[in-house]
Amino acid sequence: MIKITSRLTILLLTLLWICSSVANAQGKKLMTPEQPKLIVLLSVSQFRHDYISRYWDKFSDKGFRKLVNRGTYCKNTSYNYLISDKGVGTSTIVTGAQPASHGIVAASWYSDLKGQIIPAIYDEKANTVGGPFEAGKCSPHQLLSSTFSDEINLSNNFKSKVIGVSLEPASAVLSAGHTADAAYWFDIQNGNFISSSYYMDSLPGWVEEFNAKALPDSYMEQDWNLLLPLSEYSESLPDNNAYESGYDNDIDFPYDISDIAKIYNKKERYSILNTIPSGNNLVKDFAIHAIVNDSLGYDKNTDVLFINFTATEQIGHLFGPLSVEMEDAVLRLDKEIAHFLEFIESYVGTENTLVLFTAEHGLPYSPEYLTDHKIPSGYFTSLSAVSLLKSYLNNVYGKGDWIKEYHTQQIYLNRSLIESADLKLSDFQNDIANLMLQFHGVQNTLTAHSLQNTDYSHGAFHKIQNGYNQKRSGDVIIHLKHGWIEKHGREIVSYGTDTRIPLIWYGWKIKRKTIISPVDLIDIAPTISVLLDISYPNASTGVPIEEIIQ
């Protein structure tokens, strides 16, 4: 009897020890560390701020609703410069600086020295790793500021791992900063994720294995069908409406992706993935593989992962912000966000991970839609405007190539010709600015001379100045009226017409709250710097968000 009792006592003690050990382990797992083990920045191209409220009732409880309900939602976030796209917005987020300082004033700009347009991430010294020759000649060397992930690396002797992932190279490269371990993007020719010699000599084995799965091929064999019955897309315009261009005028669900892919150049047939929700799925899957295989969030040194979802941008261009296609893409993205958050919770721990959700820029309504609803709008046809400008200059100053380039609402002048004609540059700029102001859709024009000699503190001129870089911007900058969009030949482009974007903080040390006070895009990086007790990026002019750091 005594023997049995002893055995029972030992068994009970053993069970108690096991329970205690499990409890302690769970306690340690849930204990919030002094520093996050992982920072994840989720950025969605052209994700309007009102998508969250517009589609709220259709989101799951584990995606966008989870971020909002358990995180800090900055509802009044915007950027304060004129020209915006993926590269400009991404650079602003990670540097905490305006384009005037970080130098990425557009996706590309005219170089007077080289006499051609220079893409923001082009690097002739870099070589492609894992893909075609030109596809990987990229690096962040034209980004003039450090980023918050650079500052993290500087603070701990480069012990952190930093990775950028996107379908498109600019988002991956610029988000990851100068000291990143890797930036990966999708090559539309071979259907693989590739990189640049700026980061590595060859692709890691896990990337090769991921590419070998040929997931893009499987996605391209699937039709794009609606997630819900068509009748439930009540927040959108009819599926077939006059404001969509679609896939070569194909604007009705369902979409046969393999058939639509045939309209693209055979050498770039995988570019269809840039225009369908499956492209976002692919990026999310690759990002999870990066976390697992590169052991992100594994030790006490804060790692950083930038995940850039860019398929929404092309969907917006093809179908518009009020389309059934965009609503379906956002609802599908909600499921991908939910899956990713679930993975983070189980693999790294929510308490160990700081997650940010935002967008680099928004998406405006089409001028046709606004006009049909009696809201002033229209298209500024830049080709015809510049053609008339050239004729005017030839008549007034004599025949000559007075204009080197028109690019992103900026006019670059032939300064050598102006100087040889013994003309005053500032007067020449003013003459052009005054003429361009006469065209339909133009709200303001501003010269480089004025921008260099005047400090504008508010209004449209202040926005223009925030995006003006003396070495990269033009001689005359054009600001369009509200609701107006530039039409450059067949290409339709919009800059700075929808400046409000979403911003949500979630996870590590983040409280549940809603912030309605104004937040600028440049405030994100210094807020992270304060939270981590590191230096600001070296060109940052943003202000830490007080409600976050309290």
Residue at 373 is within a domain? no
Instruction: Give the Cα separation of 322 and 12 in Å (integer).
Output: 64
Sign, CA torsion 171/205/352/335: positive
Residue at 10 is within a domain? no
CATH code of the domain containing 55: 3.40.720.10
pLDDT, position 268: 84
> What residues contact 363, with CB distance under 8 A and at least 6 apart?
46, 47, 48, 313, 316, 320, 321, 494, 498
Query: Within this chain, do residues 347 and 392 fall inside the same structural domain, yes or no?
Result: no
Instruction: Give the Cα separation of 100 and 109 in Å (integer).
Output: 13
Q: What is the DSSP letter of 81?
A: -
Query: Within this chain, do residues 313 and 384 fall inside the same structural domain, yes or no?
Result: no
In which residue are the tokens 């379906």 written?
328
Query: Within this chain, do residues 486 and 537 fall inside the same structural domain, yes or no?
Result: no
Instruction: Give the Cα separation of 260 and 244 in Å (integer).
Output: 16
Q: Which residues of 445-477 are buried (b: 16+ CB within 10 A; e: fewer)?
A: bbbbbbbeeeebeeeebebbbbbbbeebbbbbb
pLDDT, position 11: 40
Query: Within this chain, do residues 412 and 342 fall inside the same structural domain, yes or no?
Result: no
CATH code of the domain containing 463: 3.30.1360.150
Domain boundary among 493, 521, 540: 493
pLDDT, position 444: 95
Residue at 105 is within a domain? yes
Domain boundary among 493, 519, 536: 493
Instruction: Give the Cα separation of 244 and 239 in Å (integer).
Output: 9
Residue at 274 is within a domain? yes
pLDDT, position 6: 41
Query: Within this chain, do residues 518 and 479 fall inside the same structural domain, yes or no?
Result: no
pLDDT, position 2: 38
The secondary structure element, H or E, covering residue 248 is none
Query: Residue 122, SS3?
Result: strand
pLDDT, position 489: 64
Query: Within this chain, do residues 106 and 182 fall inside the same structural domain, yes or no?
Result: yes
Q: At what angle do helices 311-319 and 278-293 cross, to 10 degrees?
A: 170
Residue at 304 is within a domain? yes
Query: Within this chain, do residues 281 and 393 fall inside the same structural domain, yes or no?
Result: no
Query: Within this chain, do residues 503 and 482 fall inside the same structural domain, yes or no?
Result: no
Domain boundary among 493, 510, 540: 493
Query: Within this chain, do residues 417 and 350 fall inside the same structural domain, yes or no?
Result: no
Tally of domains in the chain: 2
Q: Is the peptide bond prior to 254 cis by the omega test (within 30 degrees of 0)?
A: yes
Residue at 6 is within a domain? no
Query: Residue 239, SS3?
Result: coil
Query: Within this chain, do residues 422 and 527 fall inside the same structural domain, yes or no?
Result: no
Residue at 312 is within a domain? yes
pLDDT, position 288: 98
Residue at 434 is within a domain? yes
Q: At what angle do helices 205-212 and 278-293 cross, to 10 degrees?
A: 150
Global confidence as pTM = 0.93
Domain assignment of residue 207, given as a range: 38-363+498-549
What ranges make up the beta strands (E) of 113-249?
Answer: 116-119, 128-129, 162-166, 182-186, 193-196
Asked if 377 and 367 count as a contact pair (C-beta separation under 8 A), the reply is yes
pLDDT tens digits in sequence order for the chain, 550 residues long: 334 344 444 344 334 433 444 444 444 446 889 999 999 999 999 999 999 999 999 999 999 999 999 999 999 999 999 998 899 999 999 999 999 999 999 999 999 999 999 999 999 999 999 998 889 999 999 999 999 999 999 999 999 999 999 999 999 999 999 999 999 999 999 999 999 999 999 999 999 999 999 999 999 999 999 999 999 999 999 999 999 999 988 999 999 999 998 887 767 889 999 999 999 999 999 999 999 999 999 999 999 999 999 999 999 999 999 999 999 999 999 999 999 999 999 999 999 999 999 999 999 999 999 999 999 999 999 999 999 999 999 999 999 999 999 999 999 999 999 999 999 999 999 999 999 999 999 999 999 999 999 999 999 999 999 999 999 999 999 999 999 999 876 566 766 568 999 999 999 999 999 999 999 999 999 999 999 999 999 999 999 999 999 8
Asked if 421 and 399 count as a contact pair (C-beta separation under 8 A), the reply is no
DSSP characters over 360-427: S---PPPHHHHHHTT---EEEEHHHHHHHHHHHHHHHH-SS--EEEEETTEEEE-HHHHHHTT--HHH
Query: Within this chain, do residues 119 and 181 fall inside the same structural domain, yes or no?
Result: yes
Query: Within this chain, do residues 482 and 506 fall inside the same structural domain, yes or no?
Result: no
